[in-house]
Structure 1
Amino acid sequence: MTVFSISILLGCLSVMAVRGRRGGWPPGMPAARPRLVTVGGTYDGSHGHPSDAYVVQERLIALADGQGGTEVAHTAAALALGAVVAARPQHTVRWDEDMDECAQAAHRAVRRAAVRTPSRPALVTTMDLLVLVPGETPCLRFAHVGNGAIWHCAKGGKPRRLTTSHSFDDGPLLRGIGLASTLNPELGTVPLRPGDRVAVVTDGVLKALGEHRLTELLAVGPSPAACLDRLYDEVAAAAPKDDATLVVADFVTA
């Protein structure tokens, strides 16, 4: 029986809206700052081997999907995300170099674990990393490895896929965290305006919904939570075998 589990993480908890009150901020209260209001969850697939993991911190979102369909798939994903959290890429000032270095740190962590246990199945995972860069011209930096996907939906516009898949026709990964080959992550930047939406999904979501339907649903809902609810309904109806992880975030400044 497919297990339906939802865990909702609200990003940027350091600045909260005051509910039940009207008017402006009381004197002396800190001003709101640009942030990502984020929700996410994983629909557990039916094959019985967990593979997906994700983490949400202030100005950081990261997803990983362990490969191979074995008991070590989730281990590979967790190792990669642990390295990301330790690297703290949202606190850097050298964005281009440190986004790449963060992906390389995840790669090294998974490779070291694989070398220590050569008798176990291969440790390989995808990874998608997003970091909000604040300032006068806010933007989103991203690093992508594997067959997940990152989307950007400008307020009032249509969702646009920012990344390309590193596999063909559901074949093996051509780029992956933990593969013996040198890692060459896809890096990019997209400017953000208030009301823009970003989303990150693992390939289980793409298999369950298809790219066209996913594009339609990402623009639905007045909030990330409403959008996620609709996505979950359709993913659940598809009853995927693979884990399906979705994280949706709106960029706000007030």
Structure 2
Amino acid sequence: MGTYGESRIGLVRKVNEDSFYISSDHDVLAVADGMGGYVGGEIASRTAVEAIAYYFRNFTFAAPVQLEKAIQYANSSILSKVHIDPSLQGMGTTISLVTLVRGMAFWGHVGDSRIYACRGDEMKQITVDHTIVQVLLEKGKITAAEVATHPQRHVLTRAAGVDETLLVDSGAFPVQKGDRILICSDGLTSFIDPELLRQSVCDYSRSERDIVNELFRHVYENGAKDNITAILTTI
């Protein structure tokens, strides 16, 4: 199993508000995309991944409910920092989390970072974005073609660090040798063609590092208006 993760600042932002975590055994993987201003977003995302790392040093990660609890713990950790320093009020972060245990991938998710699974030449998006445009799309008020240019496409309906109570999406799916999992912030998915993303991730002739670097290159060519973070792992 090979795993590679990287986070880079885009061409517009002055600070990288993204964070990511890869455990020493490559079996706990998380991406967090912060929001809340120059300092707040960076603190929120970093707090989230640190909380997740701490949580899984002490608790199991072999059930969806445990990933929900880990993200809720991250939520509480961010809110605690706001309580200590009220100037951080309004900060928050997306969290997309995967754990790998005995032929299963467990996942937890809030926000619009994403988790994809690839087997052979087929890639599936596991998570559903928690955004205004996703709600409008599901209600049939906009089309899929309108999502990319909608003025509210980056407005979240759910994020860690905003409210005491946080609803976390979670689930599990079987994995087998050769499967790939991509976890990434919307700084990647918003600036790359979905088909190019699939072709790149499902290209087993190249390493995880090479694929991530190629994806980042395409994002920069397309303007890189946000920070970019991705973890790619092969089972």
1:71 is the counterpart of 2:39: yes
Q: 1:93 to 1:224 in 2, by over 3 A?
A: closer
1:43 is the counterpart of 2:26: no
What TM-score do you get using the length of structure 1 for normalisation? 0.78
Q: What is the Cα deviation at residue 121 of structure 1?
A: 4.5
After superposition, what is the alpha-carbon deviation per residue over 1:52-91, rounded to whole angstroms, capped at 9, x for unaligned?
Answer: 0101112111110101342221100011111101101796
Q: What is the Cα deviation at residue 233 of structure 1?
A: 2.0
The sequence identity of aligned pairs, in percent, is 24
Corresponding letter in the other structure for 1:151? Y
Distance 1:91 1:37 in 2: 24
Please tell me whether Structure 1 or Structure 2 has the larger radius of gyration of its CA atoms: 1
Corresponding letter in the other structure for 2:97? L
Q: 1:90 to 1:245 in 2, by over 3 A?
A: farther
Aligned to 1:102: 70
Q: What is the Cα deviation at residue 97 of structure 1?
A: 2.6
1:239 is the counterpart of 2:223: yes
Runs of 4+ deviating beyond 6 Å: none
Match of 1:92 among 60, 71, 94: 60
Distance 2:57 2:116 in 1: 20
Identify the range of structure 1 (93-102 vs 141-150) with the bigger mean alpha-carbon deviation.
Answer: 93-102
Corresponding letter in the other structure for 1:49? V
Aligned to 1:4: none
Considering Cα pairs closer than 8 Å and 6+ residues apart, tell me whether 1 or 2 has the greater RCO.
2
Aligned to 2:157: 174
Q: What is the Cα deviation at residue 190 of structure 1?
A: 1.3
After superposition, what is the alpha-carbon deviation per residue over 1:198-226, rounded to whole angstroms, capped at 9, x for unaligned?
Answer: 10110100111143432232212423123
| Matched positions, count | 212
Conserved 8 A contact 1:89-1:131: no
Distance 1:179 1:195 in 2: 38
Determine which structure has the larger helix proportion and give its number.
Answer: 2
Q: 1:94 to 1:201 in 2, by over 3 A?
A: closer
Conserved 8 A contact 2:79-2:164: no
Distance 2:33 2:183 in 1: 12
Aligned to 1:207: 190
Aligned to 2:105: 140
Q: 1:115 to 1:159 in 2, by over 3 A?
A: same
Q: 1:203 to 1:108 in 2, by over 3 A?
A: same
Backbone CA RMSD of aligned residues: 1.9
Identify the range of structure 1 (113-122 vs 139-148) with the bigger mean alpha-carbon deviation.
Answer: 113-122
Q: What is the Cα deviation at residue 110 of structure 1?
A: 0.6
1:127 is the counterpart of 2:95: yes
Q: What is the Cα deviation at residue 92 of structure 1?
A: 1.0
Distance 2:155 2:56 in 1: 30
1:157 is the counterpart of 2:139: no
Q: What is the Cα deviation at residue 181 of structure 1?
A: 5.5
Q: 1:245 to 1:90 in 2, by over 3 A?
A: farther
Q: Which blocks of at least 5 consecutive residues in structure 2 are unaligned?
A: 134-151
